[in-house]
Amino acid sequence: MASGRWTSSTCSSGVAPDPADRRRRTMLRRAPEVSGRRAEVAAAPVDTAIGTALGAEDPAAITRTIALLEQLAELLSPEALARLR
């Protein structure tokens, strides 16, 4: 999964309080259409950013880290996270 950055081009907002949590005043929902910018960001490789974050230049270490992050993303699916609520 690509970065979940929420911007005005990727989400719409409403002013109704969240029914599950009355303290939150703005609900954000991902826009159903994929904007050009959103598609561009989703298609961008993360290798350079991961390498920078790790302070690593070894392509093998970066590849292993990306594989581990992908495995973690599978384990923390929306369904798995819903069980926490």
Structure confidence by residue, pLDDT tens digits, 14-67: 555 666 766 666 666 777 788 888 888 888 888 989 999 999 989 999 999 999
**76 compared with 6, residue with greater pLDDT:** 76
Q: Which pLDDT score, from 0 to 100, does residue 77 have?
A: 81
Average pLDDT of span 4-9: 43
Q: Are 46 and 66 in contact (CB under 8 A)?
A: yes
Q: Which pLDDT score, from 0 to 100, does residue 55 have?
A: 94
Q: Are 37 and 9 in contact (CB under 8 A)?
A: yes
d(CA 85, CA 82) in angstroms, rounded, equals 6
pLDDT surpassing 50 at residue 71:
yes
Beta-bridge mates of residue 13: 28
Q: Are 25 and 15 in contact (CB under 8 A)?
A: yes
Sequence-distant contacts of 52-59: CB under 8 A, at least 24 apart? none
Q: What are the residue ranges spanned by the domains of the chain?
A: 1-44, 45-85
Q: How confident is the model at residue 7 (pLDDT cuts 50, 70, 90)?
A: very low
Q: Which pLDDT score, from 0 to 100, does residue 8 have?
A: 44
Q: Which pLDDT score, from 0 to 100, does residue 28 have?
A: 67
d(CA 4, CA 29) in angstroms, rounded, equals 12
